[in-house]
Amino acid sequence: MKSFIKYTMATVVGIFLTMTLFTIISIISLAGMMATEGMSAPIKEKSILRIGLSGTLAERSESNPFAALMGEENKALSLEDALLALDKAAKNENIIGVYLEGGAMGANPGMAQELRQALVEFKESGKWVVAYGDSYGKTAYYLSSVADSVLLNPEGNVDFGGMASQIMFYKDVMEKIGVKMQVFKVGTYKSAVEPFICTEMSPANREQVTSYLFSIWTNMLKDVAESRNMEVGKLNSLADSLTMISEASVALNGGLVDKLCYMDEVKAILREKSGLEDEDDDLVFASVADVAKSETLDEKVDEQVAVYYAYGEIVQSQGTGLGMSQEHQIVGEKMIKDLQDLREDDDVKAVVIRVNSPGGSAFASEQIWREVCLLKEKKPVVVSMGGMAASGGYYISCAANRIFAEPTTLTGSIGIFGMIPDVSELMTEKIGLKFDVVKTNEMSDIGTMARPFNEAESAQMQKMINRGYDLFTKRVADGRGMAQDSVKLIAEGRVWTGEQGLNIGLVDELGNLDDAVAHAAELAKVEKFRAVPYPGADNPFEQLLNQTKGGYLDSELRELLGEGYAVYSLVRNVKDADRIQARMPFEMNIQ
C-alpha cells in the first residue's frame, strides 16, 4: 500500500512539474512574441509587396499568440495594415510593385472599396500592380481589376455573376421544437427580426435589399469599367452569362483578364518587372505586416489625431450580444473609458472614430453617444464609416462634427426592436414540465418560462420600444441639425448605402479614412500631426486573460457547422443579449 501511494504521489508530482514546465515555456514564448511584436526588419531592395486576396478582410488584425504557437495560420487580411502598407510601399524606394494573389475573399463592400482606392492611389506613385489567380471570387476580382495586368490560370475562372443576398429563416424550425419569438419593434424596414417570425422577406425588406444591393453593384461596375477601360453595359452582359463554371477563355475574350498563364509564367513576368536577369536571383516578396510596421522617415511630432477603431457588435459588457461570440465587439464600458482618456489627453487634438458596426445594444449605444458628445465639447470628432455603420453603429456616429462614408457603406437602419423567446411550449408540452406560481403583483412573473407575455405585458414592452425609437430619432435629429419628423421619414429601420445617405442627409461627405483624418486635423487647426490608432493591441498576457472558456469549443463548432454556425450562435446568444436592440439584420449575406 505504501508503494502504491509512493508511486501515485510521484506520478502526480511528475504531472505537476511537466505542466509547470510547459507553462513556463509558453510564457517565455509569449514574452518573446511580445518583444518582437513591434520590431521591423528593413525592406530589401527590389521587394514586391504581396497581398493575398483569400480568407476574410477584417477591420484590424486580431493577433492570437496561441494560434501562432499551435501553427495555425491567420487567414484574415487586416484593412488597417493593408492601407498602411500600401501608403508606405508607394514611398519606399525599395518596393518596386504590388503582387495580388487572387482567391475567394469575404469582405464587406465598403471595406473592399476602400482597399481598392488605396491600390489606385498606389498606382499613381508610378509603380506597377500585377494580379494572378487560379480563380477570382467577386471581391478578389473587384480588387484585382485595378492591376496593370490581370492574369488567370488557363484552367481557372472568374466569379463575376452579379450580386445576391439570401436570408435564412428559422421560424418553422423553432416552432417544431416549441420555441416562438416574441417580437416588439418600430420601423417598417426593421428586418432583423424577420428570420424569427417570417418564412420569407416582407415587401418592405425586399424593397430595401433590392435598393442597396443595386446601389453597391452599380458602384462596383463603375469602378471596374474605369480600370478595365470597358463599358458598364458590357460588364453587365458578362455578369448575365459569366459564372464560376465558365471556362477561362470567356473571361479573357470578355476583357476581364489580360492573359492566361501558369504560375511559372507569372514568375517570369514578375522577374522581368523586377529587372532580374540572372536566373539565380530570387524574387523578393514583402508581406503586408512587414511593410506596415516598417520604419518611416516622417518627422516626429507630438500632436496627434487619434483614430479610434470601433468595430463589431455593440454590447454593454464583454461576451454578450447576438452575434458570433468569437467576433470582435464594441464593448460600451471599455469604449466609454477609452474616449474619456482621449478627452483628457492634451496631445490628442482631434479624434476620428472609425465605425464598422451593424449596431447592437440600444442601451450601450446611448451611453457611447453621450461620451461622444462630451468628447466633442473639448475637441473635434469626425466619423469615418467603414463597411457598415448602421442602427446602433449610426447611433454612436450621429453626434460627430462630420461624417464620412464610402459610397457602398451600409448605414441608416434607424430603428429599435426587442426580442424575447417564448419557450413555454417546449417546457410544458414537449418536455412535460409543470409550473405553478405565487406572486404579489400582476406582472411579478413577467418573462417566466412557463408562459408567453400576456396582452398587458406586451403593451408595456411595445411602449418601451416606442420610447427608445423616439430617443434614437431625437439623437439623430440633434446631431444632424434636422427636424425629428424629417428623420422619421428616412428612418423606419431602413438600410441605405453611403451614396444614398449623402443624398438624404445622413452622411456629410463620401471619402475614406484618410479624408476623415485630414478633415479632423483641419477642424483642430493643426498642420503637423501624427495619426495614431487606438486602442492599442492587447499584449499576449492580456490575451491569455481574455480567452473565453468556450473558445476552443466555439472554434470546433464553427469548423463543424460551417454556415450553420451563425444560426446556432444567434439562437444561443439571444438569452444573454440586451432585450432592446438597435441592430441591422443579423446576417447581411451579400454574395
Catalytic center residues: 190, 391
Q: Record the cell numbers describing residue 51, joined without a space.
A: 497581398
Give the span between the Cα atoms of 352 and 10, in whole angstroms.
Answer: 59
Residue type, 501: G
- Cβ atoms 362, 416 nearer than 8 A: yes
Element at 158 (helix H, strand E)? strand 149-158
Give the span between the Cα atoms of 263 and 351, in whole angstroms.
Answer: 46
Measured CA distances, 469 to 102, 147, 224, 395 (Å): 44, 46, 40, 11
Q: Record the cell numbers describing residue 288, joined without a space.
A: 503586408
405 Cβ contact partners less than 8 Å away, ≥ 6 residues apart: 110, 384, 385, 389, 411, 498, 501, 502, 507, 509, 510, 511
Give the span between the Cα atoms of 258 and 251, in whole angstroms.
Answer: 9
The beta-carbon contacts of 144-150 under 8 Å, at least 24 apart in sequence, are 144/53, 144/100, 144/102, 145/223, 145/224, 145/227, 145/228, 145/256, 146/116, 146/119, 146/120, 146/227, 147/100, 148/123, 149/258, 149/259, 149/269, 150/256, 150/257, 150/258
